[in-house]
């Protein structure tokens, strides 16, 4: 499908007293007042707005005062890892050391608070289980905990199903919750629980009576920023505050040793850190542990107190990420062949399901995302569930804006009872389990639902930009302003622009990237085009006029900073 370049409309009037490019960018993201650019902690929504937050905090306070063993049960992605680290760090800082954490190995236990995980927690002496970034669907797991006499506090942000677990639930997306930010990540919910517990302990004179220093919870914000960015949740005002505050601490050299070490192995400078650095350099290395082995190594890295230990763990995560990238490259190549076959047989197929018995369960989500980008269709990629369930497949789904993936799977489940064994997730991503023999039926049912729900606007592979820049605006000043103008991310996208340019020269770097020199009117700028589409643009030559979609970026190399255009799309002018 040939993409159409369209200009993002202005949703609000442009704000005055700022650089015109930045004012235009904010107007196109619906920023209505300068107050929405005030990203101070004082502007955070109060924890008390969250349904059952006080009940949950009181149960945690009781556990602290009675010196009960608390076990945190996390998820095996970066959001779950940071959420786990937040509560472990917080409880340690207030002197509660009777605690542990469990992160289900995805290959042995699957996702969430399952009965087998509860059994392990019970053997570990758990008297209170707190779930982070999971639990809203763990009906059976909570029931097993009740059988063992263990209380459960569920902190989650995933969309609830029809049946809720019989536990204390803190989730901004549950019915009746007045918390205004429904986009909070799991780590954000865990952070809010920590703030509520600290407040109750302060009111109970806990810190003074026990001669315990009251913790500064700002020290947790680097974890919150990393987890929120990694989970690709929409960056509403509250989430932008959480991310920006975490980034400020990291830029000031106050990142915890584990995050500092991850930045170091990723060759990222903390001084000029952006949300994009967390998304594309730090999060993949942390996620690699949960994808290939066990997320506990990632959590231990985040909790490391000594730089040397943090560096060793970060290096191990970096090596895992290299392995993950090699596995991913092979799987994506296979998936692209399968997707091409799909397209050749049925070019109008609305929803695509892919499976190969050699695929790695921890990487299918990335594969689904890559094929979604190529076909511009919602995609589910499946892998074998493993020895624990040899007759099952586990799928990871990635969607398009406007197509609610979890709701689509819910429709499939209702119209084809028994086809999906379990599922859960968000609008843009979800996970599911099916019987292996049901793959073809599921693929057909999903394609039918997708065809019914997808609109022409959703399927249009449009490239949305912030319009053209004047040649005088293509400079380091504008690039630096935009860099500091974020944080940018989901639903608050990083600014990109389109201009007619003249190609001055090009050269290949690596195997599939191109370094470009481009001329915009009288301004010459260096550019880089990653994953250059040689099939369609391989014949372009110096002197050709092209329409170029790009982002302004600051290239840092050997302590030198220079302007660089990050090219995302090119086509012949006109």
**Domain CATH number, residue 414:** 3.10.310.30
pLDDT digits (tens, 9 = 90+) for 268-280: 989 999 999 999 9
Asked whether residue 407 is assigned to any structural domain, the reply reads yes
| Phi then psi dihedrals of residue 425, to 5 deg | 145, -150
What pLDDT, on the 0 to 100 scale, is given for residue 461?
80
| Cα–Cα dist 408/377, whole Å | 13
Q: What is the pLDDT of residue 1?
A: 56
In a domain, 112, yes or no: yes
β strands within 356-419, DSSP E: 379-384, 392-398
pLDDT of residue 344: 66
CA distances from 546 to 51, 133, 540 (A): 54, 46, 9
Does residue 484 fall inside a structural domain? yes
Query: Are residue 192 and residue 287 in the same domain, yes or no?
Result: yes
CB-based contact 405:412 (threshold 8 Å): no
547 and 401, same domain (yes or no): no
Strands (E) in 41-114, as ranges, are 70-73, 99-102
* Counted domains in the chain: 3
For residues 142 and 288, state if they share a domain. yes
Residue 397 located in a structural domain: yes
Long-range contacts of the stretch 367-374 (C-beta < 8 A, 24+): 367/328, 367/331, 367/332, 367/335, 367/396, 368/396, 368/397, 368/398, 369/398, 370/332, 370/335, 370/336, 371/332, 371/335, 371/336, 371/339, 372/398, 372/399, 372/400, 374/336, 374/339
Q: Give the list of residues 6+ apart from residue 453 with CB closer than 8 angstroms, or none.
A: 403, 408, 411
Residues 430 and 470 in one domain: no
What angle is formed at CA 359 by the lines to CA 357 and CA 364, rounded to 5 degrees? Answer: 130
Q: 104 and 166 share a domain?
A: yes
CA 306, CA 287: separation in Å to the nearest integer? 22
- Tokens 């990238």 identify what position? 325
Question: What is the model's pLDDT at position 519?
Answer: 97
Cis amide leading into 200 (omega within 30): no
| pLDDT value at residue 456 | 86
Domain boundary among 319, 335, 365: 319
Residue 110 located in a structural domain = yes
What CATH number does the domain containing 489 carry?
Answer: 2.40.50.460
Q: Identify the domain boundary among 441, 459, 477.
A: 459
Distance CA 221, CA 408 (A): 34
Stated as kind and residue range, the H or E segment containing 92 is helix 78-93
Same domain, 160 and 57: yes
Do both 277 and 162 map to the same domain?
yes
Q: What's the pLDDT score for residue 546?
A: 96
User: What is the residue-wise DSSP string for 221-236?
Assistant: HHHHHHHHHHTT----
Residue 511's pLDDT is what? 80
Q: Which of 408, 441, 459 is the last residue before a domain boundary?
A: 459
Residues 313, 373, single domain; the answer is: no
Residues 455 and 478 in one domain: no
Give yes or no: residues 61 and 79 share one domain: yes
pTM to 2 decimal places: 0.92
Say what the pLDDT of residue 37 is.
96
Same domain, 200 and 114: yes
Coil, strand or helix: which one is 130?
strand
**Is residue 326 situated within a structural domain?**
no
Give the CB-side neighbour count of residue 306, counting CA atoms within 13 A. Answer: 3
Rg (CA), the chain: 24
Q: What are the distances in angstroms from CA 238 to CA 180, 218, 269?
A: 9, 15, 26
Cβ neighbours around 409 below 10 Å, total: 24
First to last CA, the chain: 18
As beta bridge partners, residue 384 has: 393
Q: Longest Cα pair distance anywhere in the chain, in angstroms?
A: 76
Domain presence at residue 333: no
Q: In this structure, what CATH number is given to the domain that contains residue 240?
A: 3.90.1640.30
Instruction: Give pLDDT tens digits for 291-308.
Output: 888 899 999 999 999 999
* Residue 10 placed within a domain: no
Tell me the C-alpha distance between 378 and 382, whole Å.
14
Q: Which residues contact residue 503 at a Cβ distance below 8 angstroms, ignoring those fewer than 6 apart? A: 516, 517, 518, 519, 540, 541, 542, 543, 544, 545, 546
Q: Residues in the chain with pLDDT < 50?
A: none
Please report the pLDDT score of residue 426 as a whole number. 82
Residue 477, domain extent: 463-572
Task: Specify whether 428 is located in the same domain as 469.
Answer: no
Determine the Cα angle at 491 with ends 298 and 552, to 5°: 85
């Amino acid at each position: 499908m040939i993409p159409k370049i369209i200009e993002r409309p202005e949703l609000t009037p442009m704000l005055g007293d700022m650089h015109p490019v930045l004012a235009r960018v904010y107007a196109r993201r619906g920023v209505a007042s300068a107050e929405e650019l005030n990203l101070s902690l004082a502007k955070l929504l109060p924890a008390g707005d969250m349904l059952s937050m006080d009940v949950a905090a009181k149960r945690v306070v009781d556990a602290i005062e009675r010196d009960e063993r608390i076990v945190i049960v996390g998820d095996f992605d970066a959001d779950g890892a940071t959420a786990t680290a937040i509560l472990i760090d917080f409880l340690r800082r207030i002197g509660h050391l009777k605690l542990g954490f469990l992160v289900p190995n995805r290959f042995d236990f699957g996702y969430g608070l399952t009965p087998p995980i509860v059994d392990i927690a019970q053997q570990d002496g758990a008297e209170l289980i707190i779930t982070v970034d999971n639990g809203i669907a763990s009906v059976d797991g909570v029931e097993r905990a009740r059988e063992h006499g263990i209380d459960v506090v569920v902190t989650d942000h995933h969309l609830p199903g029809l049946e809720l677990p019989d536990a204390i639930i803190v989730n901004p997306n549950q019915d009746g919750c007045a918390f205004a930010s429904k986009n909070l990540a799991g780590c954000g919910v865990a952070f809010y629980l920590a703030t509520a517990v600290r407040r109750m302990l302060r009111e109970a004179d806990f810190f003074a009576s026990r001669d315990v220093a009251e913790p500064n919870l700002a020290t947790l914000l680097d974890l919150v920023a990393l987890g929120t960015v990694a989970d690709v949740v929409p960056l509403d005002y509250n989430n932008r505050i959480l991310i920006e505050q975490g980034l400020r601490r990291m830029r000031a050299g106050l990142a915890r040793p584990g995050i500092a070490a991850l930045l170091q192995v990723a060759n990222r400078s903390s001084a000029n850190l952006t949300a994009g650095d967390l998304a594309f350099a730090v999060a993949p290395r942390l996620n690699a542990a949960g994808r290939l082995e066990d997320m506990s190594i990632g959590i231990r890295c985040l909790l490391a107190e000594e730089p040397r230990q943090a560096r060793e763990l970060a290096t191990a995560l970096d090596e895992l990420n290299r392995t993950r990238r090699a596995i991913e490259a092979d799987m994506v190549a296979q998936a692209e062949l399968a997707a091409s076959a799909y397209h050749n047989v049925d070019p109008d197929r609305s929803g695509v399901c892919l499976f190969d018995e050699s695929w790695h369960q921890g990487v299918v989500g990335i594969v689904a995302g890559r094929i979604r980008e190529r076909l511009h269709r919602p995609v589910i990629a499946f892998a074998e569930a493993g020895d624990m369930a040899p007759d099952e497949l586990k799928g990871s789904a990635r969607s398009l804006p406007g197509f609610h993936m979890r709701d689509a799977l819910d429709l499939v489940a209702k119209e084809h009872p028994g086809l999906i064994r379990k599922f859960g997730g968000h609008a843009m991503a979800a996970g599911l389990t099916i019987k292996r023999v049901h793959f073809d039926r599921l693929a057909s049912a999903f394609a039918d639902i997708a065809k019914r729900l997808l609109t022409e606007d959703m399927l249009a592979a449009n490239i949305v930009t912030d319009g053209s820049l004047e040649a005088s605006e293509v400079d380091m000043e504008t690039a630096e302003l935009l860099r500091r103008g974020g944080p940018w991310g989901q639903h608050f996208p990083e600014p990109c622009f389109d201009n007619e340019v003249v190609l001055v020269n090009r050269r290949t770097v690596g195997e599939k990237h191109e370094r470009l020199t481009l001329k915009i009117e009288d301004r010459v700028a260096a550019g880089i085009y990653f994953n250059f589409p040689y099939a369609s643009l391989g014949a372009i030559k110096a002197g050709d006029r092209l329409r170029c979609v790009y982002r302004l970026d600051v290239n840092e190399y050997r302590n030198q900073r220079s302007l660089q255009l990050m090219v995302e799309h090119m086509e012949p002018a006109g």
